[in-house]
């Protein structure tokens, strides 16, 4: 199983429904965590970073920015991130 980092900036106009589409998509993964406001980790055994990017493109507007990275190794660091998230990262990255 691979772990992916998803980050996004939704351009103007942005609304609750724009964010909700992305949130619903991310929460469709069995394993996910939200360390920062517009940043998520998800785990998948059948998706690639390109697949996830394509899925998010279909849910967002042309002025929205999306970053998806495969972070499937244990080389990471945090500062002032809650233990619930760092525990999740220890178990899933």
Residue ranges making up the domain that contains 75: 2-92
CA dist., res. 79 & res. 82, Å (int): 9
Helix (H) or strand (E) holding 67: strand 65-70
pLDDT at res. 13: 66
CA dist., res. 10 & res. 73, Å (int): 28
How would you write the pLDDT of the chain (93 residues) with one tens digit per residue? 999 999 998 877 666 777 889 999 999 999 999 999 899 999 999 999 999 999 999 998 888 899 999 999 878 888 899 999 999 999 998
CATH code of the domain containing 18: 3.30.70.240
Number of domains in the chain: 1
Return the closest-CA partner of residue 3 out of 45, 38, 34: 45
- Phi, psi (5° rounding) for residue 9? -125, 115
pLDDT in tens, 39-59: 999 999 999 999 999 999 999
User: Pairing mode, if any, of strands 31-36 and 65-70?
Assistant: unpaired
Helix (H) or strand (E) holding 31: strand 31-36
């Amino acid at each position: 199983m691979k772990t992916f980092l998803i980050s996004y900036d939704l351009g103007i106009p942005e609304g609750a429904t724009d964010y909700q589409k992305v949130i619903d998509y991310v929460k469709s993964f069995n394993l996910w965590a939200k360390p920062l406001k517009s940043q998520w980790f998800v785990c998948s055994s059948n998706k690639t970073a390109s697949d996830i990017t394509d899925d998010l493109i279909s849910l967002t507007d042309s002025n929205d920015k999306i970053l998806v990275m495969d972070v499937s190794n244990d080389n990471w660091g945090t500062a002032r991130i809650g233990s619930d998230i760092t525990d999740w990262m220890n178990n899933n990255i």
